[in-house]
């Protein structure tokens, strides 16, 4: 420190007249106010007596070390300037890390090591076994790494031994000088910037730097930059744009550092500033995703003319774990999320987000870092040769169009928003407004015509329009019932009953309370008695008829659909039986045997061939029967036309007898009396009415039973039954076409007689 002490000095004469303003200003900075420097200098030199003294105390410090060492090793890769970088080779080799899906390969590798160890210990030659195991290992490695899933590529991109930004830089550049600081008081180690040369051409390099071990990862903040890092990159972008250096960025970060301090210092603003600036830079920009590129933290140095990705790199807006936690509420769904996100180099190249994929060796970039770096170097040179041919305006337009073409949109087509999981359900009116009967009838008629046309052309009834119409009719009928209840003054009673019913449902009681059930029955009876007086009774009746008609059509459609499906299934099963090799072989052999005999008619065949035909037919009948039974179908034997004709005649005779009996005066009167009693009793019949009805029913049944017990009818029935049984037995003995289970008296052949008709 220097200390000065002096009395006020006064100057006069020619010295005072020759002072200038600049001298006065300069002298004031040195602590001497109002004294010109020139005069002060002459006064010191010319004066014999000094009025003040100056003393200084020098602090002892170490000798300043020059940045370069005195004897740098000229053989160091990267030249003398590489001595300036603090990035040195690790003293200890990185420990090998095996990913979960690579564990099967480790078993093969362990076998190879064991065999080699055995060969060294015993002195025996196991070279053939070792070569065989190594070939198996290489083939397994190739199969594994050519069919990687997205989540497996994510794990490779995050591999602890994966080469970092500076690893690649010192492998591809002849010279590299790292540049530090954002000129705002901080140097973020998570982003490294510097100038380097490739084949004599200078580039500005910048990229995310991860650590190679725990200590370096803590120092580098695991590759997650703070706002200072993005501002350092921004400063170097301006520098490169000013001097005309092409920019090459390397992306390898899970995202920007999202702590409170970074947010306070303007993390979002720093990223946004970088995005805006990169679109206006007049030099070519190439971005290379060498590991994982996450969200805006990666995009802040990724707005380039060309985006290249290593084969096992990933580029995403949110990590698979974060996406799975948001959508599926668990990070265990990350494999599914990785597949849906389309984050691999192959998928992004197909979507034209990435402009190319850089190959990696089998096992990932960490298996051969130098070879991977050389592939990056080749890709950089090829892309830069293409970009340097463009002028400034073309380069800016190329960068703008690259991002403009991403995604797609369509105007003028209204799209209903899909209901999301957490979206509030849209509240719809409980009852839709009533549609006039004329409009509804027109819609029903149009639907009938469409159904008829579809039935004529395809033989099927369309389900879609039919189901929609049924739903619409049900809504309309509900609306009409509500309007009728309002008109009849039953709305309040219905509301109260509905509330009581809801309380009962919410409780643990299984059965409805008798009082509530009785109240509902009373309201229902009152509604049914007075519904004809409602002003919309005609409309309600019409809509009920339409609904009944549509419901019948729907049931018919469902029945036809089931029948068609059953037919298809039967045909499919029968075809499978016919195409069975054993049956096909037997059929072909029998055909050849029949053809060799030269006989054209079946009756002229030998008895042996006939027996073979019957045997084959029995076997096929058995197979077909098994197919039908597996589908729940019962197989009944076919009747001869004569037997069927006799059964029909007998049924007609029985029907005639029944009609004559019903038309007789006595029985007819009883039936009319029964109808009157039933109508008089209604739904709530008393004990006396029920007794009368039961007595009349019993009398009618007895009359019918007496009429059906005529000896002539009974004899005809027994005779017909014997004839049918004989016919069935003869068919079974002749060609075996009927199933044994259905033979005899219980052969499945019956007369179409009502269950109430008995033959005592």
| 758 pLDDT higher than 60 | no
| 122 pLDDT higher than 90 | no
Q: Residue 524 and residue 512: Cα distance in Å, rounded?
A: 16
| Token pair in block for residue 739 | 């199933």
**What was the pLDDT predicted at 337?**
92
Q: Residue 733 and residue 569: Cα distance in Å, rounded?
A: 32
| Closest listed residue to residue 44, CA positions, set 60, 57, 27 | 27
Per residue in 478-508, pLDDT (tens digit) is: 888 888 888 877 777 777 777 776 666 555 5
| 466 pLDDT higher than 60 | yes
Q: How many CB atoms lie within 10 A of CB 473?
A: 23
Q: Name all domains of the chain by residue range, CATH numbers in brackets.
A: 102-147 (no CATH), 161-405 (3.90.226.10), 437-556 (no CATH), 580-595+606-639 (no CATH), 640-722 (no CATH)
Residue position matching structure tokens 């019918």: 704
pLDDT tier, 603 (very low <50, low <70, confident <90, very high otherwise): low
Per residue in 407-428, pLDDT (tens digit) is: 776 666 665 555 554 555 554 4
| 381 pLDDT higher than 90 | yes
| Token pair in block for residue 618 | 């029995």
Is 119 in contact with 126 (CB distance < 8 Å)?
Answer: yes
By DSSP bridging, strand 285-294 and strand 247-253 are parallel
| Token pair in block for residue 301 | 């140095």
pLDDT tier, 9 (very low <50, low <70, confident <90, very high otherwise): very low
Is 174 in contact with 198 (CB distance < 8 Å)?
Answer: yes
Mean pLDDT of 532-543: 81
741 or 177: whose pLDDT is higher?
177
**What was the pLDDT predicted at 635?**
60
Please report which helix (H) or strand (E) contains residue 481, including its range.
Answer: helix 464-487
Q: Residue 67 and residue 306: Cα distance in Å, rounded?
A: 36
From residue 475, how far is each of 343, 430, 544, 547, 649 by CA, in Å?
Answer: 48, 9, 11, 11, 51
| Residues recorded for the chain | 760
| Token pair in block for residue 231 | 């501002």
- State the average pLDDT for the chain: 76
| 443 pLDDT higher than 70 | yes
Q: Residue 482 and residue 476: Cα distance in Å, rounded?
A: 10
What is this structure's pTM?
0.49
**What was the pLDDT predicted at 266?**
92
Which residues are CB-neighbours of 677 under 8 A, at least 6 positions away? 689, 692, 693, 696
Mean pLDDT of 213-238: 93
**What was the pLDDT predicted at 707?**
65
Is 274 in contact with 234 (CB distance < 8 Å)?
Answer: yes
From residue 436, how far is each of 36, 328, 535 by CA, in Å?
Answer: 109, 47, 14
| 6 pLDDT higher than 70 | no
CA atoms within 13 A on the CB side of 452: 6
Q: Residue 108 and residue 175: Cα distance in Å, rounded?
A: 42
Which residues are CB-neighbours of 741 under 8 A, at least 6 positions away? none
**What was the pLDDT predicted at 371?**
94
Q: Residue 251 and residue 191: Cα distance in Å, rounded?
A: 10
Q: Residue 742 and residue 738: Cα distance in Å, rounded?
A: 7
**What was the pLDDT predicted at 23?**
45
């Amino acid at each position: 420190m220097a200390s000065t002490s002096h009395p006020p000095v006064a100057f006069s004469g020619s010295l005072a007249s020759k002072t200038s303003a600049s001298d006065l200003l300069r002298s004031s900075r040195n602590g001497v106010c109002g004294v010109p420097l020139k005069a002060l200098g002459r006064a010191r030199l010319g004066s014999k007596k000094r009025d003040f003294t100056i003393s200084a105390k020098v602090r002892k410090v170490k000798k300043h070390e020059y940045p370069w060492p005195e004897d740098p090793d000229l053989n160091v890769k990267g030249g003398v300037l590489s001595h300036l970088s603090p990035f040195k080779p690790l003293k200890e080799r990185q420990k090998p890390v095996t990913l979960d899906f690579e564990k099967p390969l480790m078993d093969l590798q362990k076998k190879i090591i064991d065999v080699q160890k055995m060969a060294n210990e015993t002195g025996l030659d196991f070279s053939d076994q070792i070569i065989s195991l190594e070939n198996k290992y290489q083939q397994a490695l190739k199969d594994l790494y050519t069919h990687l899933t997205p989540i497996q590529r994510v794990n490779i991109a995050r591999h602890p031994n994966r080469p970092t930004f500076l690893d690649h830089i010192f492998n591809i550049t002849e010279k590299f000088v790292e540049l530090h600081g954002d000129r705002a008081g901080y140097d973020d180690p998570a982003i490294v910037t510097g100038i380097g040369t490739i084949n004599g051409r200078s580039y500005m390099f910048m990229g995310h730097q991860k650590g190679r071990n725990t200590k370096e990862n803590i120092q580098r903040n695991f590759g997650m930059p703070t706002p200072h890092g993005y501002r350092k990159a921004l400063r170097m972008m301006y520098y490169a744009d000013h001097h005309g250096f092409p920019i090459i960025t390397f992306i390898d970060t899970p995202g920007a550092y999202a702590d409170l301090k970074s947010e306070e210092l303007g993390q979002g603003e720093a990223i946004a500033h970088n995005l805006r600036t990169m679109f206006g830079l007049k030099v070519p920009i190439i971005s290379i995703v060498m590991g994982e590129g996450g969200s805006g933290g990666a995009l802040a140095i990724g707005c380039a003319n060309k985006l290249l990705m290593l084969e096992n790199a990933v580029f995403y807006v949110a990590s698979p774990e974060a996406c799975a936690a948001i959508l599926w509420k668990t990070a265990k769904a990350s494999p599914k999320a990785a597949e849906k996100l389309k984050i691999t180099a192959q998928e992004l190249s197909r979507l034209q987000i990435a402009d190319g994929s850089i190959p990696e060796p089998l096992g990932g970039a960490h298996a051969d870092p130098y070879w991977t770096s050389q592939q990056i170097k080749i890709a950089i040179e090829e892309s830069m040769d293409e970009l340097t041919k463009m002028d400034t305006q073309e380069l800016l337009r190329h960068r703008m169009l690259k991002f403009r073409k991403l995604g797609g949109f369509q105007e003028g087509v209204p799209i209903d928003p899909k209901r999301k999981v957490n979206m509030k359900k849209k509240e719809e009116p409980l009852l839709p407004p009533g549609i006039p009967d004329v409009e509804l009838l027109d819609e029903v008629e149009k639907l009938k015509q469409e159904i008829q046309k579809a039935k004529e052309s395809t033989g099927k009834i369309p389900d879609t329009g039919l189901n929609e119409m049924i739903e619409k009719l049900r809504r309309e009928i509900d609306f009409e019932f509500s309007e009728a209840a309002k008109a009849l003054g039953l709305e309040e009673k219905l509301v109260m009953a509905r509330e009581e019913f809801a309380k009962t449902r919410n409780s643990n009681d299984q059965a409805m309370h008798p009082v509530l059930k009785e109240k509902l029955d009373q309201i229902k009876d009152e509604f049914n008695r007075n519904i004809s007086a409602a002003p919309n009774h005609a409309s309600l009746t019409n809509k009920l008829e339409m609904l009944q008609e549509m419901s019948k059509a729907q049931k018919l459609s469902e029945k036809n659909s089931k029948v068609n499906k059953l037919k298809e299934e039967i045909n499919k099963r029968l075809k499978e039986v016919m195409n069975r090799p054993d049956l096909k072989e037997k059929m072909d052999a029998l055909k050849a045997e029949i053809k060799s005999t030269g006989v054209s008619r079946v009756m002229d065949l030998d008895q042996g061939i006939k027996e073979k035909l019957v045997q084959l037919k029995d076997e096929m009948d058995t197979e077909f029967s098994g197919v039908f039974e597996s589908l729940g179908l019962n197989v009944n034997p076919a009747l001869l036309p004569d037997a069927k004709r006799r059964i029909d005649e007998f049924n007609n005779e029985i029907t005639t007898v029944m009609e004559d009996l019903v038309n007789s005066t006595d029985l007819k009167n009883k039936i009319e009396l029964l109808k009157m009693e039933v109508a008089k009793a209604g739904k709530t019949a008393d004990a006396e009415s029920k007794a009368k009805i039961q007595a009349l029913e019993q009398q009618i049944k007895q009359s019918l039973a007496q009429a059906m017990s005529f000896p002539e009818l009974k004899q005809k029935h027994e005779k017909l039954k014997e004839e049918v049984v004989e016919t069935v037995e003869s068919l079974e003995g002749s060609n075996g076409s009927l199933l044994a289970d259905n033979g005899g008296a219980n052969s499945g052949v019956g007369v179409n007689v009502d269950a109430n008709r008995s033959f005592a």
